[in-house]
Structure 1
Amino acid sequence: MPDHGEWNRRSLLKGAAVVAGAAAAAPLLGKAGKAYADGSDADALYRAGKFEQAGRAYEEILKKDPTNLHAARRRGYVGLLANKFPDAEKYLNMALKLAPDDKETNCYLGDCYIRQDKYALAAPRWRAGGEEGYARWFEAIRGEAYQIHGNIGRVEWQPMDPEPLVEASVNGGPPKRFAFYTGAPNLQVRASVAKEAGLTPVYKERTDFEGLDIWVYYGVLDSFKLGDLELRNVPVGWSSTESGADVSTDNDGLIGTWVFYHLLTTFDYAGQSLILRRPTPAAARKVHADAARAGTTPLPIWLSLDHNIGSIGSIADSGPRAMGVNFGGAGGESAVGTSLEVAKRLGIRTDTDRPIDTFGHSHEAVVYPCYPKEIRIGDAVANDIYCTADKNGQINTPWPYGDGVDATGYFGHCFWKPYNITLDFTNMNLYITRGKAT
């Protein structure tokens, strides 16, 4: 991932991205919507976020033409989106045999292996995908990564805004203040925290960050403790200026999606706490039972580009669409982010006279206030609430910067405040319940 590798590094360096990338979503108008009506166009189904139907359509293509690289790779990626690892490995390895040097296939397969903590298998795939840093990093991991000690950890947010911060201990040291954000992949610490914790990089490389040359380091952390739950042998990154100084001092580090998908995670916005559980079948059953008692219906989730989380929601009159769901980060007061083009298509009232200069994945961006009549995900709904429309937001971003699915938008930090949300990455479900978590 030579290009989006840098994009990932920037996103994890600048974890608070106001217009952070929406995950997969569906088309609103035009030819794509018509094309998938009869189920004959696999790519149109995929672009629409109709992943199960797309998967079956790609299988039909492969029955007729087993040498179709695009169909094999796409079918494998559809499996990866839902953490269906046997499917993902079957079809991605089929694609790899057809084109061993294909970077996209190698990166997808590398991601498939790291989600299963199979780092020895992941490393050569990332190297073939053009990402030497990831390859060297994963080669250095010995034994079981993300070892979980304890059953549950609950940490309070200090504060809620402009971004939630939680206290965590690094290698047994004093409490540090960490942001968390599902728009970023791995655990990050500040350079000064890495030094204090005695971290030694297994690999380093120079990159650009907001016009500044910095060094990015990869290492492995012995211990990361949140409340009464401890993770051991955790992949970690940090960055510094040429002089060795911290790149940012807003917090002591950032917790990304890789940590959360190893756990049964509850983002308790209403209770202003982060609840992390060992993902046992018993813990999952309790979450499901609690949700059922509260009348909460589970929603499907998928995971794209190694850390972006998506589910089904709607903006204005879009109808149910596959949309991004972001937790944590500094999202300001915007409940949903979308593109200006989508806002215009949906007839959303947009105040283009009041541009807002901000950042998205460490790039300068301009967004406009907009006010959809309704935004909804499951039973969570808001009416006439402040949202933002990105002036340069793209409807469809292909690999390596996106995954080629038509984007409607994403739910951000502000939207979740009345709720607690639990993510079950074993069964790939999301539960949204009003009020504090029990």
Structure 2
Amino acid sequence: MNKSAPENIDRRQFLRRTGLAVGAGAVLPHLGAPWASTSLAMTPSSSTSRITPDDLFTAGKFKEADQGYAHLLRRAPGNAHAAAQRGRIALLSNKFEDAEKFLTRAIHLAPDDNFSKRQLAECFVRQDRVARAVPLLRGTGDLSDAAFAAQYASVTGTPYETQGAQKTRVPFVCVDPLPCVEAAVNGAKPKRFLIDTGATLALSTETAEQAGLRAVSTSTSNPAGQTLTTYHGVMESFRLGDIVLHNVPVVWYDLRMPDLPDGSRPSGVIGTTLLYHFLATMDYANQALVLRRKTGTQLREFLVEARRAGVDRLPLWLAGDHIPCTLGSLNDYGPRVVSLDTGGMSMGVMTTEENAKRAGIEIDYDHPTTGGGITFYPITPARIGLGKTVGRNIPGVAGGWPWIKLFGFETIANFTHEFFKPHAITFDYAGMNFYIASR
């Protein structure tokens, strides 16, 4: 799906699911700085030049921020904000035990902290312990949270119960406008689904109706000033190649999706909430989705292949409920945190005007476009990179993207479709590593 359109951001309710940061602006953190306070001020005091753990978190310095919050908790064990932030940082790296411990502590200290309730619910959802998420989501008072609570409460059996092969290779039907594969809902004839790491698992309304899915709850959002109703339910089965998943939570609505090369419409989107159940490879160059079960044997086999291919390994974080992040650079600006939403059609990078200027990227102000009330402009950076993998003169856009509001921390760019097309990318959500290889 085209992430250049801000209405997609609203539709996925990023602002509600990831929380709002207060403040913005780049900071220059350093490890020797004393921890100033627990306030949410994002700019260091000019009189003291002290850097707070919040400054470090906002700058994407998660390890250093966590050290700062730990220091605050040693001094003041009742500091609810520091506990919540330690839980939030742990969840970014899927450190579930630590996330549960600190988020539970934060909620005990601040019972009205609905954001931490959502974070703790997300901690359970990522582990397929969805029943534990239900009371937390019901307790926020938010109607959308209540819809997800009802959905998770309706799951019978083990969520995402996996049967079939240990590994499967599903050929791409096409690479453009986005990668597309065939998958089957509830044992029906296979249909075509886009793959998009910036999405959750979602169906079109038509596909859901044909599969006989029953909505157990609904939620509403207002993308681009329109009212969109989302239906929540559970699929009995979802087949991808030689692997079948059972008891799969899914949503459906009137998706805005591009036509495939043959003129047909995709039946839905396979997003990160499905992919993170596997060691998942999007092999653009060889045009296939490869899913491996998250076992030691499958990881070892992949690493042997990876070493032969000369892959680059980078850190992986999971922001919100489904946005992967790693470290990347724009020209000589970076490495800093970037997101990996692969669904930006006909572009390879998205950034803000401010970050483009910091990186020395020329912005084409003569050819603006607008969407959802946001204006953006073409850019063609000389080079953008993830580790040793560099893309040169990759088309992209610069605009008023609300990065800090989406994630609660700064990112310098989103790397997307055109950048990845010569490569194979693999997401390891157990070890929290991102791999990229040229083919």
Alignment correspondent of 1:339:
352
CA distance, structure 2, for counterparts of residue 229 and residue 257 of structure 1: 17
- Secondary structure of 1:319 counterpart: strand
Does residue 407 of structure 1 match 2:411?
Answer: yes
Matching of residues 64-143 of structure 1 within 5 Å: 64-129=75-140, 130=142, 131-143=145-157
Q: Which amino acid aligns with 2:435?
A: Y
Q: Which amino acid aligns with 1:347?
A: G
- Give the drift of 1:219: 0.6
Q: Per the alignment, do residues 292 and 22 of structure 1 end up closer, same or farther by CA in structure 2, a change over 3 Å counting?
A: farther
Alignment correspondent of 1:267:
282
- More deviation, 255-264/370-379: 370-379
Contact (CA 8 Å) 1:22, 1:410: kept in 2 or not? no
Deviation sequence 1:20-79 (CA, Å, 0-9, x none):
x999xxx9985x115666364211211121111111110100111112121111110000
Q: Per the alignment, do residues 341 and 71 of structure 1 end up closer, same or farther by CA in structure 2, a change over 3 Å counting?
A: same
- Give the drift of 1:190: 1.5
One of 238, 246, 250 as aligned partner of 2:252: 238
- Secondary structure of 1:189 counterpart: strand
Contact (CA 8 Å) 1:39, 1:53: kept in 2 or not? no
Contact (CA 8 Å) 1:29, 1:345: kept in 2 or not? no
Q: Per the alignment, do residues 125 and 393 of structure 1 end up closer, same or farther by CA in structure 2, a change over 3 Å counting?
A: same
Q: Per the alignment, do residues 290 and 39 of structure 1 end up closer, same or farther by CA in structure 2, a change over 3 Å counting?
A: farther
Does residue 424 of structure 1 match 2:439?
Answer: no
Contact (CA 8 Å) 1:22, 1:407: kept in 2 or not? no
Q: Which amino acid aligns with 1:122?
A: A
- Point out which structure has higher relative CO (alpha carbons under 8 A, 6+ apart): 1
Alignment correspondent of 1:168:
183
CA distance, structure 1, for counterparts of residue 195 and residue 204 of structure 2: 14
Alignment correspondent of 1:11:
12
Alignment correspondent of 1:38:
33
Deviation sequence 1:248-273 (CA, Å, 0-9, x none):
68421111111000011000010111
Contact (CA 8 Å) 1:12, 1:184: kept in 2 or not? no
CA distance, structure 2, for counterparts of residue 164 and residue 356 of structure 1: 25
- Give the drift of 1:373: 2.5
One of 355, 361, 366 as aligned partner of 1:353: 366
- Give the drift of 1:146: 0.6
- Give the drift of 1:237: 0.9
One of 401, 406, 409 as aligned partner of 1:393: 401
- Give the drift of 1:208: 3.3
Deviation sequence 1:380-423 (CA, Å, 0-9, x none):
10123322111x224632xxxx2321221110011001111111
CA distance, structure 1, for counterparts of residue 139 and residue 162 of structure 2: 31
CA distance, structure 1, for counterparts of residue 146 and residue 8 of structure 2: 15
Contact (CA 8 Å) 1:22, 1:324: kept in 2 or not? no
Q: Which amino acid aligns with 1:198?
A: G
- Give the drift of 1:8: 6.8
Q: Which amino acid aligns with 2:428?
A: D
- Give the drift of 1:293: 2.2
% identity of equivalent residues: 38
- More deviation, 109-118/199-208: 199-208
Give the alignment's Cα RMSD to 1 decimal.
2.6
Question: What TM-score results when the alignment is normalised by the length of structure 2?
Answer: 0.86
- More deviation, 155-164/410-419: 155-164
- Secondary structure of 1:101 counterpart: coil
Matching of residues 221-236 of structure 1 within 5 Å: 221-236=235-250
- Give the drift of 1:356: 2.5
- Secondary structure of 2:12 counterpart: helix
Contact (CA 8 Å) 2:350, 2:397: kept in 1 or not? yes
Contact (CA 8 Å) 1:325, 1:412: kept in 2 or not? yes
Contact (CA 8 Å) 1:152, 1:277: kept in 2 or not? yes
Contact (CA 8 Å) 2:347, 2:396: kept in 1 or not? yes
Deviation sequence 1:298-333 (CA, Å, 0-9, x none):
211010101110001111221211111123x2x233
- More deviation, 318-327/298-307: 318-327
Q: Number of residue pairs matched?
A: 402
Q: Per the alignment, do residues 265 and 89 of structure 1 end up closer, same or farther by CA in structure 2, a change over 3 Å counting?
A: same
Question: What TM-score results when the alignment is normalised by the length of structure 1?
Answer: 0.86
Contact (CA 8 Å) 2:11, 2:221: kept in 1 or not? no
Does residue 195 of structure 1 match 2:209?
Answer: yes
Q: Per the alignment, do residues 426 and 204 of structure 1 end up closer, same or farther by CA in structure 2, a change over 3 Å counting?
A: same
One of 286, 293, 301 as aligned partner of 2:301: 286
CA distance, structure 2, for counterparts of residue 253 and residue 147 of structure 1: 21
Contact (CA 8 Å) 1:39, 1:45: kept in 2 or not? no
Q: Per the alignment, do residues 366 and 143 of structure 1 end up closer, same or farther by CA in structure 2, a change over 3 Å counting?
A: same
Does residue 145 of structure 1 match 2:156?
Answer: no
One of 272, 293, 298 as aligned partner of 1:257: 272
One of 310, 321, 345 as aligned partner of 1:306: 321
Q: Which runs of 5 or more structure 2 residues have no equivalent in the other structure?
A: 1-6, 36-51, 260-264
CA distance, structure 1, for counterparts of residue 301 and residue 172 of structure 2: 24
- Give the drift of 1:12: 8.8
CA distance, structure 1, for counterparts of residue 425 and residue 374 of structure 2: 29
CA distance, structure 2, for counterparts of residue 234 and residue 79 of structure 1: 26
CA distance, structure 1, for counterparts of residue 280 and residue 63 of structure 2: 26
CA distance, structure 2, for counterparts of residue 336 and residue 191 of structure 1: 31
Q: Per the alignment, do residues 302 and 311 of structure 1 end up closer, same or farther by CA in structure 2, a change over 3 Å counting?
A: same
- Secondary structure of 2:169 counterpart: strand
CA distance, structure 1, for counterparts of residue 389 and residue 312 of structure 2: 11
CA distance, structure 2, for counterparts of residue 8 and residue 132 of structure 1: 20
Contact (CA 8 Å) 2:216, 2:233: kept in 1 or not? yes
- Give the drift of 1:206: 4.0
CA distance, structure 1, for counterparts of residue 434 and residue 18 of structure 2: 17
CA distance, structure 2, for counterparts of residue 395 and residue 9 of structure 1: 13
One of 211, 215, 218 as aligned partner of 1:204: 218
